[in-house]
């Protein structure tokens, strides 16, 4: 955010005034200051304001690509951006969907999953899948009719009781094995197994993280 302002030779007052032309809710100078100093992270809605106000690709602002580019006149859709794993898989709830933060992504980036209401995004934590997914990456996953779509080796977001994880999926009969795929040698060959009971939920199949993987 700071680089955007400095690159355009704007003061905090000027950039705040510009953003407020696009915002339904008033943004204060102190809020912009906190964003620039990484005290608070702007919501997906506020990132969208920057995208529109300064003609910057939303994918770049959201960290889904490292390549800076200007916003093009192309088709976009909004998708649920979950604050953490505990809210993942809730897009089917109309009330949750209406009030959840959204991330705006181009149809070109999302590809065959464009416009799907069950496509959600969440930031990952830990290094259990760094052979495939960089630590701290934002992943996209589909949630509808998951068990009919998931096959051995697919990457899924799951919960078991209060435990959450992103791992490779393997059905082993009465249980599901979730395997690590990490660059960390301490995780080599590591897996967890949970029984197929009422505590186990396959929240979604991971299909996107910075690039489309399926």
Write the CATH number for 30.
1.10.260.40
Residue 105, Cα to own-chain centre: how many angstroms?
A: 11
Same domain for 81 and 67, yes or no, is: no
Residues with Cβ within 8 Å of 8's Cβ and at least 6 positions away in sequence, in order, are 15, 54
Using the 3D structure, point to which of 55, 73, 91 is the last residue of a domain.
Answer: 73
Q: Reduce the DSSP state of residue 149 to 3 states and report it.
A: helix
Residues with Cβ within 8 Å of 40's Cβ and at least 6 positions away in sequence, in order, are 31, 34
Of the pLDDT bands very low, low, confident and very high (cuts 50, 70, 90), residue 176 is very high
Same domain for 108 and 19, yes or no, is: no
Same domain for 112 and 179, yes or no, is: yes
Q: Is residue 81 within 8 Å of 109, Cβ to Cβ?
A: no
pLDDT of residue 20: 85
Same domain for 18 and 102, yes or no, is: no
Same domain for 120 and 154, yes or no, is: yes
pLDDT of residue 72: 58
DSSP-assigned beta bridge partners for residue 73:
none
Give the chain's domain count: 2
Sign of CA dihedral 21, 23, 27, 29: negative
Same domain for 191 and 134, yes or no, is: yes
pLDDT of residue 74: 62
Using the 3D structure, point to which of 51, 73, 95 is the last residue of a domain.
Answer: 73
Write the CATH number for 79.
2.10.109.10
pLDDT of residue 183: 95
| Two structure tokens written together for 138 | 């934002």
C-alpha–C-alpha distance, residues 163 and 168, integer Å: 16
Minimum mean pLDDT among 22-26, 115-119, 121-125, 147-151: which range?
Answer: 22-26
Mean pLDDT throughout 187-210? 94
What is the β-pairing status of strands 119-123 and 76-81? parallel
pLDDT of residue 96: 87
| Structural domain of 18 | 1-73
**Residue in 157, 123, 128 with CA at minimum distance from that of residue 142:** 157
pLDDT tops 60 at residue 198: yes
Same domain for 89 and 186, yes or no, is: yes
Same domain for 29 and 132, yes or no, is: no
pLDDT of residue 166: 96
Same domain for 98 and 187, yes or no, is: yes
Return the beta strands (E) in 3-86 as ranges: 76-81
Same domain for 102 and 152, yes or no, is: yes
| Burial class of residue 69 in the structure, from the number of CB atoms within 10 Å of its CB (0-12 exposed, 13-18 middle, 19+ buried) | exposed
Using the 3D structure, point to which of 73, 89, 118 is the last residue of a domain.
Answer: 73
Average per-residue pLDDT for the chain: 87
Q: Which residues of 73-107 are buried (b: 16+ CB within 10 A; e: fewer)?
A: eeebbbbbbbeebebbbbbeeeeebeebbbbbbbe
**Residue in 107, 116, 3 with CA at minimum distance from that of residue 58:** 107
pLDDT in tens, 100-132: 888 888 887 888 898 998 999 998 988 999 999
Same domain for 99 and 161, yes or no, is: yes
pLDDT of residue 73: 56
pLDDT of residue 192: 97
pLDDT of residue 109: 82
Same domain for 112 and 214, yes or no, is: yes
C-alpha–C-alpha distance, residues 74 and 179, integer Å: 39
């Amino acid at each position: 955010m700071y680089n955007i302002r400095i690159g355009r030779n704007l003061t905090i007052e000027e950039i705040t005034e510009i953003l407020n032309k696009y915002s339904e809710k008033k943004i204060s100078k102190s809020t912009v200051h906190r964003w620039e100093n990484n005290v608070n992270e702007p919501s997906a809605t506020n990132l969208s304001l920057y995208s529109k106000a300064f003609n910057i690709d939303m994918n770049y602002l959201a960290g889904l690509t490292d390549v800076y580019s200007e916003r093009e006149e192309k088709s976009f859709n909004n998708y649920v951006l979950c604050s953490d794993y505990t809210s993942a898989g809730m897009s089917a709830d109309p009330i949750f969907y209406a009030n959840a933060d959204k991330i705006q992504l181009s149809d070109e980036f999302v590809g065959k999953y464009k416009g799907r209401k069950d496509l959600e995004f969440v930031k990952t934590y830990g290094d259990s899948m760094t052979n495939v997914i960089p630590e701290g990456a934002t992943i996209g996953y589909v949630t509808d009719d998951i068990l009919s779509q998931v096959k051995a080796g697919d990457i899924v977001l799951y919960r078991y009781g209060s435990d959450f994880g992103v791992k490779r999926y393997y059905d082993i009969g009465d249980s599901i094995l979730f395997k690590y795929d990490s660059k960390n040698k301490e995780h080599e060959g590591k897996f967890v197994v949970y029984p197929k009971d009422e505590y186990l939920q396959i929240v979604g199949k991971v299909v996107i993280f910075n690039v489309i993987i399926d």
